[in-house]
Chain A
Amino acid sequence: RKEVEQDPGPFNVPEGATVAFNCTYSNSASQSFFWYRQDCRKEPKLLMSVYSSGNEDGRFTAQLNRASQYISLLIRDSKLSDSATYLCIISNFGNEKLTFGTGTRLTIIP
């Protein structure tokens, strides 16, 4: 089993819709969780960190489920500019390395 797994998609979603995707991880000792966004041929950029209590930033909501070992990202009222690949990234406490998912590709359709 891969350390971090994501559905590669693509998710094709109409503008204005709500979309959600998950990322599962295998190491129960994982401590830090992030969602990064990567646009085509660009570098990954931090979208949001994922906290135990869940967190929201505008139209984006991230959740952590430790019992089932997954994190989720919910995007409400999706915009054309949300089209990108969303990377799930996980780190273990004290570990200087991060583990990356392969990404979920999202396309918002006008």
Chain B
Amino acid sequence: NAGVTQTPKFRVLKTGQSMTLLCAQDMNHEYMYWYRQDPGMGLRLIHYSVGEGTTAKGEVPDGYNVSRLKKQNFLLGLESAAPSQTSVYFCASRTIGTSQYEQYFGPGTRLTVT
């Protein structure tokens, strides 16, 4: 049971380049999330999905797009990377249930945009 995995672990981009971050979970969770974490800012929600084929904006969605074509995968895209998108990106998932709000996080992707 791998839990939540993220690909890649590290990436360096030049301004204007594009890339896709992949998040995969094998726990059959309905909800999936993308966060970014910057020093002193805590975790901020970029986009999230409550099920296959559905996505919604979070707190800081600008400059990012997402897709959830399969229940187990949640992709985060940067169409034209900017230095302000240098951050650590965490994916998370959780199941549905009145008490099951625990989120399981992936190991993170460290992205640097130069």
Q: Do A and B come from one complex?
A: yes
Given contacts A43-B108, A44-B90, contact A98 B41 (CB under 8 A): no
Chain B contacts for A1, CB-based, 8 A = none
Chain A proximity of B42: nearest CB distance (Å): 4
Q: Which size bracket describes the interface of A in this complex?
A: 20 to 34
- C-alpha gap A45/B102 in the complex (Å): 9
Whether B31 and A96, one on each chain, are in contact in the complex, defined by CB atoms closer than 8 angstroms, is yes
Bound-complex Cα distance A89 to B48 (A): 17
- B81 to chain A: closest CB distance in Å? 21
With A32-B101, A34-B101 known as contacts, the answer to whether A97 contacts B90 (CB < 8 A) is: no
CB within 8 Å for A34 and B102 given contacts A42-B108, A96-B31:
yes
Q: Complex Cα distance A18/B64, Å? A: 43
Contacts of B40 in A (CB 8 A): 8, 102
Contacts of B50 in A (CB 8 A): 96
In the complex, B28 has a CB within 8 A of chain A: no
Question: Is B34 an interface position by the 8 A CB rule?
Answer: no
A-B interface pairs (CB < 8 A), number: 43
Contacts of A42 in B (CB 8 A): 107-108
Choose from A8, A87, A97 the contact partner of B48 (Cβ within 8 Å): A97
In the complex, how many angstroms separate the beta carbon of B90 from the nearest chain A beta carbon? 6
Q: Does A80 contact B (CB under 8 A)?
A: no
Q: How far is the CB of A71 from chain B (nearest CB, A)?
A: 14
In the assembly, what is the distance between CA of A8 and CA of B89, in Å?
A: 21
Report A20 CB to chain B, min CB distance, Å.
21
Q: B92-114 toward A: CB 8 Å interface, digit per residue (1/0)?
A: 00000011011101111000000
B61 touches A (CB below 8 Å): no
- Given A43-B90, A44-B90, 9 new contacts (CB under 8 A): A8-B40, A43-B105, A43-B107, A89-B103, A91-B101, A93-B98, A96-B48, A97-B48, A102-B40
Chain B residues with CB under 8 Å of chain A are 31, 33, 40-45, 48, 50, 58, 88, 90, 98-99, 101-103, 105-108
